[in-house]
Chain A
Amino acid sequence: MLALDLLLQGIVQGAIYALIALGLTLIYGLLRILHVAHAALFTLGGYIGVIVTNETGSLPLALIVAMVSVGLLGIVIYRLAYKPLLDQSPLVALIASIGLFIAFEEVFRLVFGSYGLSFENPPLRTQVNLGGGLLISHSKLLVIGMAIVILSILAWLSTRTRTGIAWKATVTDSQIASSFGINIERVRYLNFFIGSALAAAAGVMVALLTNLVEPTMGAVASYKALAIIVLGGLGSVRGTLVASIAIGIVESFGTVYVGHILDRDALAFAFLVIALMIRPQGLFKAG
Chain B
Amino acid sequence: MAYEVILLTTMAIMVLFALSLNVITGFCGQVSLGHAAFYGIGAYVGAMLTKAGWPLLIALLPAAGIAGLIGFFVGLMSLRVRHDFLAITTMGIAFLFVGFVRKQEWLGGEIGISGIPAFGFGRIGLLVVALACAGLFAAVTVYLKRSWMGFGFDSIADDEDTARILGIDVPRFKLWAFVIGTAGAGVAGALYAHHVRYIGPDSFGFVESVTVLAMVIIGGIGSVWAVALAAAVLSVLPLWFQFIDDYKLLIYGLLVFAVMRFSPNGIAGALQSFRRRLR
- The interface of chain A, by Cβ under 8 A from chain B, is 32, 34, 81, 84-85, 88-93, 95-96, 98-107, 110, 219, 222-223, 226-227, 230, 234, 260-270, 272-273, 276-277, 280-282
Contact = CB atoms under 8 A, between A and B. Distances in A.
Contacts of A267: 99
B257 A263 contact: no
A270 B89 CA distance: 10
B4 interface: no
A110 B85 contact: no
B257 A84 contact: no
A99 B256 contact: yes
B250 A96 contact: no
Contact of B89 (A84, A104, A262, A273): A273
A226 B254 CA distance: 22
B33 to A, nearest CB: 8
B5 interface: no
Contact of A223 (B31, B206, B218): B206
B81 A92 contact: no
A99 B260 contact: yes
Contact of B261 (A32, A84, A262): A84
B132 interface: no
Interface size class of B (residues with CB under 8 A): 35 or more
Most buried by B among A105, A230, A234: A230
Contacts of B85: 230, 234, 276, 280-282
30 contacts: A85-B261, A85-B264, A88-B264, A90-B84, A91-B221, A92-B264, A95-B214, A95-B217, A95-B256, A95-B260, A98-B214, A98-B256, A99-B257, A101-B253, A103-B254, A103-B257, A106-B253, A110-B246, A110-B247, A262-B103, A263-B102, A264-B99, A265-B99, A266-B102, A269-B91, A269-B93, A273-B77, A277-B77, A280-B81, A280-B85
Most buried by A among B87, B103, B214, B253: B253
Contacts of B218: 95
Contacts of B264: 85, 88-89, 92
B57 interface: no
A230 B213 CA distance: 19
B27 to A, nearest CB: 14
Majority secondary structure of chain A interface residues (helix, strand, loop or mixed): helix
B31 A262 contact: no
B131 to A, nearest CB: 27
Contacts, number: 135
Interface string B55-91: 0000000000000000000000100111011011101
B35 to A, nearest CB: 14
Given A261-B100, A266-B95, A269-B91, 14 more contacts: A81-B261, A85-B264, A92-B264, A95-B214, A99-B214, A99-B257, A99-B258, A100-B257, A102-B250, A222-B206, A226-B88, A230-B85, A266-B100, A273-B92
Nearest to B80: A280
A84 B258 CA distance: 12
A276 B259 CA distance: 33
B240 interface: no
A171 B148 CA distance: 41
A90 B81 CA distance: 17
Given A103-B257, A265-B99, A266-B99, A230 B250 contact: no
B80 A99 contact: no
A99 B214 CA distance: 9
A98 B103 contact: no
Contacts of A268: 95
A32 B264 CA distance: 16
